């Protein structure tokens, strides 16, 4: 076991590192417990280069398991929700050798896999820790994405500067945003607050309790805080920075967020599971435009699609053909974007979410941004509805701002949108709903009707 970064954690001594409920660990304790756990894992038969599933969510156990396995130079596959489909992918396609359950108790179960996938060879021969991330699997079986975990840690391992920040761990444990946040917080000497229940109520309670200064989240979750008035039920005055990503931000939602968090800086982040998270900069908290200021990232926009290239790019997919890279090595993000001048980028939405109305392209984000400023609309989601003549038409689900009949809501919405949208963009189907459906990753569900 040779992980010099454990030493850099230990050097930070009694500085707070992790808070999980009533338990608080210093950096020295984190390093020592990770070492002890690594020895225990090796006694259980885990060796460098083996694929190990870590089933857990944000908790001290899960974080220590990830650090310990990285120290062993294993290939770690963190999983929050171990569904049959995900379990099959990890056991069969990824050839996993062990399953570590890191919930309230820590258990190690040997599996039949021998970790022999050809993509593992470079990591195993060089004694490098690996990381497997799974896509959400919304279009079928999840893709298994292989990364160099040592590179990710090395990029974040830096000396502490200034006052320690308290950051809440909200983005998912098995998502690139969550892993990036965890590694960035620990290896920059800040303090991570664990949230086990990913609800607006619980998150805001922990923000108040620990005087959290940094909240990494996504637009849909921030909107849930707004809709439930959780920012008023809890004292969030310690917040200084909210970073948001994983989906495009409607401009009107950003306006609402500026109103309820007037003293908080809002910063859009950007990255993918395949390329990692880039450093970004916004002109202001009122802008949905951003610049990629990370020198290690390159970007270009080709036929409206944002493409990225980074040194921390994934090593490949373990279970599907790699068609996401161009012939010259650029990753196709699947995000529609436009250059906004001065090196700024504007994300318009996902290519797969575009509604095709008789050959005309409609962006759901444009419809939603308008509707969020309608007095009768509290929240909404736009999506495509199959149509025999035009292929698709625009549909919207709307959570009304106050009691109103379905017919009344439709009339109000159509009157509000009149003159603001081209005819083909106007909603044909308007459905009043009690709640807007959200996935377990806190994103709006758009595949409502195809």
Tens of pLDDT, residue by residue over 329-353, are: 899 999 999 987 788 898 998 999 9
**How many domains would you assign to the chain?**
2
Closest CA to 56 of 20, 29, 89, 92: 20
Does residue 35 fall inside a structural domain? yes
88-99, pLDDT tens digit by residue? 889 999 999 999
Section 149-178 average pLDDT: 83
Does residue 129 fall inside a structural domain? yes
Does residue 406 fall inside a structural domain? yes
Cβ-based neighbours of 248, under 8 Å, separated by 6 or more: 219, 288, 335, 347, 348, 349, 350, 365
Does residue 448 fall inside a structural domain? no
Last residue of a domain, one of 129, 154, 179: 154
Q: What is the pLDDT of residue 159?
A: 59
Does residue 93 fall inside a structural domain? yes
In the numeric block, which tokens belong to residue 310? 């980074």
Section 55-75 average pLDDT: 95
More confident residue, 391 or 440: 391
Residue 448 has pLDDT above 70, yes or no: no
Q: What is the mean pLDDT of the chain?
A: 91
Q: What is the pLDDT of residue 158?
A: 67
Do residues 239 and 207 lie in contact, with contact meaning Cβ atoms separated by under 8 Å?
yes
Q: What's the pTM? A: 0.89
> 């359950």: which residue's tokens?
101
Q: How many CB atoms lie within 10 A of CB 62?
A: 26
Query: Could you tell me the pLDDT band of residue 138, with boundaries at 50, 70 and 90?
Result: very low
- CATH number of the domain that residue 94 is part of: 3.40.50.980
Q: What is the pLDDT of residue 212?
A: 97
Does residue 20 fall inside a structural domain? yes
Residue 308 has pLDDT above 70, yes or no: yes
Last residue of a domain, one of 124, 154, 184: 154
- CATH number of the domain that residue 427 is part of: 3.30.300.30
Last residue of a domain, one of 154, 185, 208: 154
Kindly provide the b/e burial profile for residues 330-341, where b requires at least 16 CB atoms within 10 angstroms of the residue's own CB: bbbbebbbeeee
Does residue 250 fall inside a structural domain? no
Residue 427 domain boundaries: 354-432
């Amino acid at each position: 076991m040779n992980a010099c970064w454990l030493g850099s954690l230990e050097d930070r001594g009694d500085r707070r590192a992790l808070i999980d409920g009533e338990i608080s660990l210093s950096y020295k304790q984190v390093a020592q417990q990770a070492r002890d756990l690594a020895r225990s894992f090796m006694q259980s038969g885990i060796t460098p280069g083996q694929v190990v599933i870590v089933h857990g969510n944000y908790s001290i156990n899960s974080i220590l398991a990830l650090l310990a396995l990285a120290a062993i130079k294993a290939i770690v596959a963190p999983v929050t929700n171990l569904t049959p489909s995900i379990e099959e992918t990890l056991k069969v396609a990824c050839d996993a050798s062990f399953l570590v359950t890191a919930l309230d108790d820590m258990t190690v179960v040997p599996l039949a896999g021998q970790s022999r996938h050809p993509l593992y060879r470079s990591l195993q021969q060089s004694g490098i820790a690996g990381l497997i991330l799974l896509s959400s699997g919304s279009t079928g079986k999840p893709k298994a994405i292989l990364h160099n975990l040592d590179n990710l840690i090395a990029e974040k391992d830096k000396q502490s500067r200034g006052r320690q920040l308290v950051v809440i761990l909200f983005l998912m444990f098995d998502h690139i945003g969550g892993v990036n946040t965890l590694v960035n917080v620990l290896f920059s000497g800040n303090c991570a607050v664990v949230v086990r229940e990913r609800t607006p109520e619980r998150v805001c309670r922990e923000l108040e309790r620990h005087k959290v200064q940094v909240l990494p989240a996504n637009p849909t979750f921030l909107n849930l805080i707004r809709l439930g008035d959780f920012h008023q039920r809890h004292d969030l005055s310690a917040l200084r920075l909210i970073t948001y990503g994983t989906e495009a931000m409607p401009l009107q939602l950003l306006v609402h967020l500026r109103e309820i968090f007037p003293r908080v800086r809002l910063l859009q982040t950007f990255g993918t599971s395949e390329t990692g998270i880039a450093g970004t900069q916004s002109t202001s908290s009122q802008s949905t435009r951003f610049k990629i200021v990370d020198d290690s990232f390159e970007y270009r926009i080709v036929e409206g699609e944002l493409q990225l290239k980074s040194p921390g790019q994934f090593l490949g997919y373990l279970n599907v053909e790699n068609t996401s890279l161009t012939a010259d090595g650029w990753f196709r993000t699947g995000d529609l974007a436009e250059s906004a001048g001065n090196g700024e980028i504007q994300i318009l939405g996902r290519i797969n979410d575009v509604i095709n109305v008789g050959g005309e392209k409609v962006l759901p984000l444009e419809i939603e941004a308008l509707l969020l400023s309608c007095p009768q609309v509290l929240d909404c989601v736009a999506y495509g509805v199959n149509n025999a003549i035009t292929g698709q038409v625009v549909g919207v689900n709307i959570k009304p701002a106050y009691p109103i009949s379905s017919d009344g809501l439709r009339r109000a919405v159509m009157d509000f949108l009149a003159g603001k949208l081209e005819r083909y963009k106007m909603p044909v189907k308007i459905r009043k709903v009690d709640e807007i459906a959200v996935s377990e990753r806190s994103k709006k569900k758009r595949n409502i009707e195809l």
